[in-house]
C-alpha cells in the first residue's frame, strides 16, 4: 500500500530541473572518476612501495591479516595467522623455527600464547646474539607502527642471514607474544625457561626493535648511558649502543639517544643482566623542536599520533624511517654473525656521542 502511495506522489520534473540534474550527475561522475583515479594511484603507489621495499610487503600482509581477523592481539586468531605468516617466511629463508608457549594472567584470567624463536643452523652456540620484536598488538588495532614494523624489519634481517655464506656466531631471532600485557610475559617466560645458567650466559646481547617507523619519527638508539633509567643498565649495553651509532655515523645518518621506558621486551633481559640495546622511532611522546631540526616532521605533535589506537594502520608509518631502521637491523644481524669484536664487553667504554642525547 505504501508503495502505490509513493508512486502516486512522484512528480515529473521540469526541463530546468532536468538540466540541473544532468549537471549534478556529470559532477558526480567527474567526482567518481577522480576518486577512482586517486584510488588507482594509491593502489599503484602501494604496489610500487611493496615492489621496492620487501619490508613494506610484510606490513601489507600484517594489515590484511588484521583486517581479516580484527587485530593481532595475543591469544587471538589474528595472532595465530600472523605467526603462521612469520613461520612461512622463515622457512622460505631457510631458518627453522619453534614456538615457545607460555601462560600469563590478564587480571584474573589465565591466558596462553607463544613466541616464535628461530636461529641460524651454523655458528658457535657459546656466544649467541638475540634480536627480537613483539609480534602481538593491542586489541582492536591493526598495530602496524606498534609493532608490525619491528616484526617486519626482523623478518628482513632473518632472510638476509638465510642467504649469508659464512656465519661464525649464532644469531637467534624472537617474535615475542604478549608484550602488550603487563611485564611482557612472552620474553620473560623465554628467559625464565632457559634450561640452565649456561644457556643464559651464552646470550651475549639482546637487541630489541619495538616501533621502528613512527609517522613523525626520530632515529633513536636506546640510551645505554641514561642516568635516569628505572633499572640498572647491564654493563656491555654501551657497546651495543655504539655498534648502532657507529653504523648510523658511517652512513651520515643523524640519530638521537632515546630513553627506554623499560616496558618492552628488553626488560626481561636486563633483569638477568644481559647487555641490551635497540632502536626506536617514538610512540606518543611529543617531538621536540630540536628533533624537528634534525629529522624534519612536526614539532610538538606526537611521534606516533595513533599509538595504541584502531588507526594504527598501514598509513601510520614513515617509509624513510622504515627503510633506515630495516637496514640497521639487517646490518646488526649480518655483521654480528661474522664479527663480534664490536661487542667485546670486557671493558666499560666511555663512548663519545656523535649524535645528540635527548
Ligand atoms: N611500550 C611499548 C612502546 C614504547 C614506548 N616507549 C618505548 C621505549 C623503548 C621501547 C618501546 C617503547 C609498547 O607499547 O609496545
Ligand atoms: Zn610495542
Ligand atoms: Zn604497544
C-alpha cell at 96: 627453522
Instruction: Specify the pLDDT at position 348.
Output: 30
Q: Which ligand is nearest to the CA of 139?
A: 3
Q: Which three cell numbers stand for residue 239?
A: 657497546
Q: What pLDDT score does 42 carry?
A: 55
* pLDDT reported for residue 48: 64
Walk along the chain (358 residues) in steps of 10 and give the mean pLDDT of each run: 30 39 49 49 63 90 98 98 98 96 95 97 90 98 98 97 86 98 97 88 96 98 87 90 98 95 88 95 97 98 98 98 98 93 54 45
Rounded Cα distance between 340 and 116, Å, is 25
Q: Which of 60, 179, 272, 335 is catalytic?
A: 179
**What is the end-to-end Cα distance of the chain in Å, rounded?**
73
Kindly give the distance from the C-alpha atom of residue 93 to the centroid of ligand 3, in angstroms, as a whole number. 28
Tell the residue nearest (CA) to atom 4 of ligand 1. Answer: 283
Q: How far apart are CA 232 and CA 219, in angstroms?
A: 24
Tally of CB atoms within 10 A around 70 = 16
146: left (phi over 0), alpha (psi -120 to 50) or beta: beta
Residue 50 Cα, ligand 1 centroid: separation in angstroms? 26
Closest listed ligand to the CA of 282 = 1
Centroid of ligand 1 to alpha carbon of 286 (angstroms)? 14
Ligand 1, CB cutoff 6 Å, lining residues: 146, 179-180, 210-211, 260-261, 263-264, 280, 283
Distance of CA 235 to the CA centre of its chain: 26
- Length of the chain, in residues: 358
Which residue has cell 649456561?
198
Query: Of all atoms in ligand 1, which is nearest to the CA of residue 179?
Result: 15
From ligand 2's centre to the CA of 150, what distance in Å? 8
Catalytic annotation present for 119? no
State the pLDDT at residue 246.
98
pTM comes to 0.85
Amino acid at each position: 500500500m505504501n508503495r502505490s502511495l509513493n508512486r502516486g506522489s512522484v512528480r515529473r520534473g521540469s526541463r530546468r530541473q532536468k538540466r540541473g540534474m544532468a549537471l549534478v550527475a556529470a559532477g558526480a561522475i567527474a567526482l567518481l572518476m577522480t576518486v577512482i583515479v586517486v584510488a588507482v594511484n594509491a593502489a599503484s603507489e602501494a604496489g610500487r612501495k611493496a615492489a621496492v621495499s620487501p619490508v613494506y610487503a610484510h606490513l601489507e600482509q600484517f594489515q590484511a591479516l588484521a583486517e581479516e581477523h580484527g587485530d593481532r592481539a595475543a591469544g587471538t586468531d589474528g595472532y595465530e595467522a600472523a605467526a603462521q605468516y612469520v613461520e612461512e617466511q622463515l622457512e622460505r629463508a631457510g631458518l627453522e623455527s619453534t614456538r615457545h608457549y607460555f601462560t600469563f594472567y590478564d587480571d584474573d584470567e589465565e591466558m596462553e600464547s607463544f613466541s616464535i624463536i628461530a636461529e641460524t643452523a651454523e655458528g658457535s652456540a657459546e656466544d649467541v646474539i638475540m634480536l627480537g620484536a613483539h609480534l602481538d598488538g593491542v586489541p582492536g588495532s591493526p598495530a602496524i607502527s606498534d609493532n608490525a614494523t619491528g616484526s617486519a624489519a626482523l623478518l628482513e634481517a632473518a632472510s638476509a642471514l638465510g642467504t649469508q655464506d659464512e656465519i661464525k656466531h649464532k644469531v637467534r631471532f624472537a617474535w615475542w607474544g604478549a608484550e602488550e600485557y603487563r611485564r611482557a610475559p612472552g620474553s620473560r617466560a623465554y628467559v625464565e625457561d632457559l634450561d640452565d645458567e649456561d644457556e643464559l650466559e651464552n646470550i651475549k646481547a639482546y637487541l630489541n626493535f619495538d616501533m621502528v617507523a613512527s609517522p613523525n619519527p626520530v632515529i633513536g638508539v636506546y640510551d645505554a648511558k641514561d642516568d635516569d633509567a628505572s633499572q640498572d643498565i647491564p654493563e656491555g649495553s654501551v657497546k651495543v649502543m655504539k655498534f648502532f651509532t657507529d653504523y648510523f655515523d658511517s652512513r651520515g645518518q643523524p640519530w638521537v639517544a632515546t630513553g627506554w621506558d623499560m616496558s618492552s621486551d628488553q626488560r626481561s633481559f636486563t633483569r638477568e643482566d644481559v647487555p641490551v640495546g635497540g632502536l626506536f622511532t617514538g610512540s606518543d611522546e611529543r617531538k621536540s623542536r630540536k628533533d624537528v631540526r634534525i629529522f624534519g616532521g612536526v614539532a610538538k605533535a606526537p611521534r606516533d599520533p595513533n599509538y595504541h589506537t584502531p588507526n594504527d594502520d598501514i598509513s601510520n608509518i614513515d617509509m624513510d624511517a622504515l627503510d633506515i631502521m630495516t637496514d640497521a637491523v639487517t646490518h646488526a644481524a649480518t655483521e654480528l654473525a661474522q664479527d663480534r669484536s664490536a661487542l667485546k664487553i670486557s671493558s666499560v667504554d666511555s663512548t663519545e656521542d656523535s649524535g645528540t642525547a635527548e
